[in-house]
């Protein structure tokens, strides 16, 4: 758990975690899918035993019924050695409980699969309180633009080298919630609650223009 944070109901938080020693924590497609499935099923007031999910495919997990959510997830992105989640505390202790379940469950899965022991992440998770609209809106771009570094590693330092290539890559990147904001139909859309955010954009075209702004001014990201 993020030991220095006190989470307040109704407030938004940027949650993130990195592999210990910056190690890769998502080695294969199934690893990404397992973490995403945990974002869904562990956002749940009902106790779920991870052992019951050992052979469950992502689609199967996303079709399971849940009780009430612990938090409202508004966006997420998984990268090879870290993750980002934007979430709102909706009940006392919700974020702490949710993140503890997700990270413990994923570590157990990863360690068993790859025959290792010990911590997988640098710490349980870190958090930053999002205390104004500008910060919240900015994080929607920051989190969803993370995958650009996969095709253009120095884009933040030197500027984007091929914006069209980067945009096309983002549209096809399965391990973030950007597809769900673009109107794409998939079961993963059950994970996020877009209604928990202010209506910053009338439609995806408006959001896409905002992403373009940050791609063009990449040294600020």
Domain positions in the chain:
12-130, 133-220
- DSSP single-letter state for residue 203: S
One DSSP character per residue, 8-31 reads: -TT-EEEEEEEBGGG--S--SHHH
The beta strand positions in the chain, using DSSP E, are 12-18, 71-79, 82-89, 126-130
CATH topology of domain 12-130: Alpha-Beta Plaits (3.30.70)
pLDDT at 3: 46
- DSSP single-letter state for residue 84: E
pLDDT at 138: 96
Q: Measured in whole angstroms, how far is the alpha carbon of residue 98 from the centre of its chain?
A: 13
pLDDT at 54: 77
- What is the residue-level pLDDT of the chain in tens, covering all 221 positions? 444 468 999 999 999 999 999 999 999 999 999 999 999 999 999 988 877 777 889 999 999 999 999 999 999 999 999 999 999 999 999 999 999 999 999 999 999 999 999 999 998 899 999 999 999 999 999 999 999 999 999 998 888 999 999 999 999 999 999 999 988 889 999 999 999 999 998 888 899 999 999 998 755 44
- DSSP single-letter state for residue 136: H
- DSSP single-letter state for residue 176: B
φ, ψ at 28 (rounded to 5°): -135, 165
């Amino acid at each position: 758990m993020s030991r220095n944070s006190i989470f307040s109901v109704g407030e938004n938080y940027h949650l993130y975690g990195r592999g210990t020693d910056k190690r890769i924590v998502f080695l294969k497609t199934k690893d990404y899918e397992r973490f995403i499935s945990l974002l869904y099923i562990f956002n749940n007031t009902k106790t779920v035993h991870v052992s019951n999910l050992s052979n469950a495919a992502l689609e199967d997990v996303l079709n399971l019924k849940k009780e009430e959510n612990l938090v409202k997830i508004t966006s997420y992105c998984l990268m090879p050695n870290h993750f980002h989640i934007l979430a709102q505390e909706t009940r006392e202790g919700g974020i702490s409980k949710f993140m503890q379940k997700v990270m413990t469950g994923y570590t157990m899965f990863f360690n068993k699969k790859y025959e290792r022991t010990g911590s997988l992440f640098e710490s349980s998770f870190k958090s930053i309180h999002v205390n104004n609209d500008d910060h919240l809106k900015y994080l929607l771009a920051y989190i969803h633009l993370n995958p650009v570094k996969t095709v253009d590693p120095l884009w933040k330092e030197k500027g984007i080298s091929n914006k069209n290539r980067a945009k096309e890559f983002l549209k096809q990147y399965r391990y973030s919630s950007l597809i769900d904001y673009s109107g794409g139909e998939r079961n993963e859309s059950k994970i996020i609650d877009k209604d928990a955010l202010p209506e910053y954009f009338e439609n995806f075209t408006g959001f896409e223009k905002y992403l373009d702004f940050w791609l063009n001014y990449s040294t600020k990201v």
